[in-house]
Amino acid sequence: MATIGRREQEILTAIVETYISTGEPVGSRTLARRNREGLSAATIRNVMADLAEAGLLAQPHTSSGRVPSVEGYRYYAEKLSDQVSLKPDDELTIQRYFHGVNEVEDFMERTSHVLSLMSSGVGVAMTSAGPRKALEHVHFQRLGEQRVLAIVVTNSGVVRDRVLRLPHDVNQAELDLAARYINDNFRGWMIEDVRRELERRIEQERSEYDRLMRSVAQLYQSGALTTQDELGAVYVEGTANLVSRENDSERLRQLLKTLEEKTRIVELLSSYVDTRQEAVRVIIGLEETMPDLSSFVLIGAPARSGQEIVGRLAVIGPTRMDYQHTITAVSYIARLFDKLLNDSE
């Protein structure tokens, strides 16, 4: 990330916050009128040119003002993450919503609602998986072109099956080879540990086991080792907030479809909200996990009860959102979760 001075930081912050507020490209004259240091429009214009050169600002049209780039938003959000405090009125509002709550599921359900209200985005919350289960064996059966039945058996005797839709067709011999690889290498492993290790091996060993690992990667990435019990409860609220902002009907349809699929929400939060993190994490641009959300932002945090991770909570919204308000709300609710559940024990 670019390193910029105090004056550049202040002007970048002013541009981001003005653009979030108005939705219009920001010009040097607008900033000069609002600048407390009395900087001239010419000086501000020079700073804006430096910020653009650093990749932090973009110019939609030759004669227009500037707007934050993705890197500009990232810089702004990273600086905000260290300044977490909530307005007293917002604290009271949140506390009122959670008054009397002492169950994880009830807290998470209310969390999705409160976050959607506080951010005008989509509030998402999920509880962690149930008890850890060890893998006994897997079996894959080809059902048709790009369709596979995945059967996962745990050491407790639980059998789960899922129909997977793969990006590329795989024949039965390749499926048998992939199942044998998983069974020979991972029988007795906890399923979540299998997933982590598979992820590592797929990346590391791709060149050594090219054809085999391609098949394993497809099956893994399509959810072969995800069972319903492991998904936990997922709560999503505020999708209507996207409807009012998104003009492209086809894009809106894809967004809503993504947010309706429980497994995709789990994948999204699991990818970006690290349970080891202590602070709120801000991810701008979610295309690595979901291309449909390429121009969206995720602001999330793990939910803890003491040292135990019991879930994740987040807001999903457009890049032009109120970062400061949303970051502080997510952080406050994550900390409140720990306090409420420990006080109720």
Considering only the top CATH level, what class is 84-128+232-343?
Answer: alpha beta
SS3 call for 165: strand
- pLDDT, tens only, 167-215: 889 899 999 999 999 999 999 988 778 877 887 887 776 555 566 777 8
- Beta partners for 161? 151
SS3 call for 139: strand
Q: Residues near 299 by Cβ (< 8 Å), separated by ≥ 6?
A: 77, 119, 280, 281, 282, 283, 314, 315, 317, 323, 326, 327, 330
The verdict on domain 6-79 having CATH code 1.10.10.10 is yes
Q: What is the CATH architecture of 135-229?
A: 2-Layer Sandwich (3.30)
pLDDT in tens, the chain (345 residues): 567 888 999 999 999 999 998 989 999 988 988 876 778 889 999 999 999 999 999 988 767 789 999 899 989 988 776 555 778 888 898 989 998 887 888 899 999 999 999 888 999 999 876 555 788 999 999 998 988 988 888 886 767 777 888 888 989 999 999 999 999 999 998 877 887 788 788 777 655 556 677 788 778 777 777 655 555 788 999 888 877 666 667 777 777 777 878 778 888 888 788 766 777 889 888 877 787 787 889 999 988 877 777 889 999 998 888 898 899 999 999 988 888 776 655
CA dist 278 and 281 (Å) reads 9
- pLDDT, tens only, 239-248: 888 776 666 6
Whether the CB-CB separation of 164 and 147 falls below 8 Å is answered with: yes
Q: Where are the domains of the chain?
A: 6-79, 84-128+232-343, 135-229
**Residue 42, burial from CB neighbour count under 10 angstroms (0-12, 13-18, 19+):** exposed
Phi, psi of 120 (to 5 degrees): 60, 25
User: What angle (nearest 5°) sits at the alpha carbon of residue 94, between those of residues 92 and 282?
Assistant: 125
